[in-house]
Amino acid sequence: MAILSNLSNYKNFGLLTIRIGLGLTFIHYGYPMLTGGINSWKEIGTSTRHIGIHFWPVVWGFIAAVTETFGGFLLIIGLAFRPVCILMITTLIIAAASHIGSGEGLRGASHAIEDAIIFAGLLFVGPGKYSVDKK
């Protein structure tokens, strides 16, 4: 369709839109986990048992909460973009494994899997022109 063909001129705006949307979503989910304290971190961190890690659940939960909260902010501004994508992918793989391991199956893990796929794609594409990391 000819009328939509010019949208390819706005790829960087599209990447900015994705970064802002994902960043706000992860801040929204991560901040309550971060402020939830040690009991919340321990509960989140026990998800690592589904990938064979049974030690330091409080530490892993805290790292997941920090990754989602501050990672969301860094996504929005486009700073340390690729390292944040790797951390988000790792967190989401563990989340997907937790959903599957707790009996929810692929239906329960689908959101985490979808987000991990998006971050995997963004890892290769980069943050775009409208970012602190622009080159």
Q: Residues 40-74: pLDDT tens digits?
A: 999 999 999 999 999 999 999 999 999 999 999 99
Q: What is the mean pLDDT of the chain?
A: 94
> Would you say residue 7 lies in a domain?
no
Q: What is the pLDDT of residue 103?
A: 93
CA distance 128 to 48: 33
Q: What is the pLDDT of residue 135?
A: 62
Question: pTM for the complete prediction?
Answer: 0.92
> Would you say residue 63 lies in a domain?
yes
> Would you say residue 2 lies in a domain?
no
pLDDT at 1 over 80: no
> Would you say residue 67 lies in a domain?
yes
> Would you say residue 131 lies in a domain?
no
> Would you say residue 43 lies in a domain?
yes
> Would you say residue 135 lies in a domain?
no
Q: How many domains does the chain have?
A: 1
Give the range of the structural domain holding residue 118, as residue numbers without chain letter: 12-125
Burial 39-56 (b: 16+ CB within 10 A, else e): ebbbebbbbbbbeeeeee
> Would you say residue 42 lies in a domain?
yes
